[in-house]
Amino acid sequence: GNSVTQMEGPVTLSEEAFLTINCTYTATGYPSLFWYVQYPGEGLQLLLKATKADDKGSNKGFEATYRKETTSFHLEKGSVQVSDSAVYFCALRPGQGAQKLVFGQGTRLTINP
């Protein structure tokens, strides 16, 4: 089946620290991979995506590389800010034609000044 496993949270860091949130997946076919972010009291927003192996998605200083050999899509940022505090979801869409996103369980990130 299709599934996404994320790093357990919560994660607490100091401002300007380096961030990694691990994400691994199991999927049939060739999935597209996503990171969504949910700020307090809000819905989900697409942060970045990658649609094929070795693609790197990037946005707002965040990056993730689609690694087929390790079935991973880890989220990284070199220097986090207090405003990055949110819940981060890794997700996949399993192959062309599949309509449904499969989400990981979410990782709550808190950045302290």
Partner 1 sequence: EADIYQTPRYLVIGTGKKITLECSQTMGHDKMYWYQQDPGMELHLIHYSYGVNSTEKGDLSSESTVSRIRTEHFPLTLESARPSHTSQYLCASSDPSRGYTEAFFGQGTRLTVV
Contact set with partner 1 (CB under 8 A)? 32, 34, 36, 38, 41-46, 49, 51, 87, 89, 93, 96, 99-101, 103, 105-106, 108
- Three-state SS for the chain is CCEEEECCCCEEEECCCCEEECEEEECCCCCEEEEEEECCCCCEEEEEEECCCCCEEEECCEEEECECCCCECCEEECCCCHHHCEEEEEEEECCCCCCCCEECCCEEEEEEC
Residues in the chain: 113
Q: Write down the least CB distance from residue 72 to partner 1, Å.
A: 19
Nearer to partner 1, 46 or 53 (CB): 46
Q: Write down the least CB distance from residue 45 to partner 1, Å.
A: 7
Nearer to partner 1, 16 or 45 (CB): 45
Nearer to partner 1, 18 or 30 (CB): 30
Nearer to partner 1, 58 or 106 (CB): 106
Q: Write down the least CB distance from residue 16 to partner 1, Å.
A: 26
Tell me which residue has tokens 């969504």.
36
